[in-house]
Amino acid sequence: MQRRFEDKVAMVTGAASGIGRASALRLAEEGARIFACDIDAGALDDLASEAKGRDLQVDTHVLDVSDGEACASAVAQAVSSCGRLDVLCNIAGISHLDLFENYSHELWQRMIGINLSSVFFLSQAAMPHLVETKGNIVNMASTAGLQGQAHNAVYCAAKFGVVGLTKSNAQEYARRGVRVNAVCPGGVLTPLLRETKMPEGADPELFGRMMPLLPLARAHEIATAVAYLASDDARYVTGHTLTLDGGQTL
């Protein structure tokens, strides 16, 4: 395997499961020291044990990404513990399908906080350090950030916001040496997908519009795209939404 991240530090949120875990391990396999963040302390311990057994450099930090002050503190801790910051991977996220009229204000706030506000909080805190190292940000968006999806209004709103933040920050920081990109997966076999249930009263025909042409992706396949965008191989790529959706959005 390539070693594109030797002597580099990557902060990864949502690192305890799914795409976040796969991305943290992929970057570590390529030589990065990982500052892995998640709200699930037990799953972070499992990640740390696996990393130690494979002789990978992974530090863990319990973090509620919807808390702006906690995000700023986590970035400061990453730089203090690891000495620098080269890559920020904003991967933490939650999903919930429902009829639009049934979404509560509380669920709106929670989903926006985890899926969108966290990207703002962490990117803002990390940017001075990334300017210093000429680093980059990889945000986890979604096909839900590229097209409307019935019964998925709040997730769509959040992921469209992630795409907007990605493009705005890419433009603002390009001349300061920081690249900002997003990955837009379709269906991926992760705990997030397995725990997502079709709501009562949903229109199955509308769900059919979201079906990919290819079998669902695996987390490690999305992690490959994250590693590419985070690496110097993507030096000429910024403001891009890299779509991996099996033909869903054709």
Q: Measure Cα distances from 187 to 1, 10, 68, 222, 247 in Å.
A: 26, 25, 29, 11, 11
All residue ranges of the chain with pLDDT < 70 are none
| Full strand arrangement of the beta sheet holding 179-185 | 58-62, 33-38, 9-13, 87-90, 136-140, 179-185, 241-244
Residue 194: per-residue pLDDT: 75
Domains of the chain are 9-242 (3.40.50.720)
Residue 202: per-residue pLDDT: 82
Residue at 129: amino acid letter: H
Residue 40: per-residue pLDDT: 98
Residue 240: per-residue pLDDT: 98
Q: Measure Cα distances from 44 to 15, 63, 240 in Å.
A: 7, 11, 30
Partners of residue 139 on adjacent β-strands: 90, 182
Residue 203: per-residue pLDDT: 85
Cα Dmax for the chain: 52
Residue 209: per-residue pLDDT: 78
| Residues known to be catalytic | 155
Tell how strand 9-13 and strand 241-244 pair up. unpaired
| C-alpha span between 73 and 57 (Å, rounded) | 21
In three-state secondary structure terms, 37 is: strand
Q: Measure Cα distances from 165 to 116, 121, 172 in Å.
A: 9, 11, 10
In three-state secondary structure terms, 147 is: coil
Residue 211: per-residue pLDDT: 85
Q: What digits encode the pLDDT tens for the residues 50-69?
A: 999 999 999 999 999 999 99
| C-alpha span between 203 and 156 (Å, rounded) | 17
Give the gyration radius of the chain's Cα atoms: 17
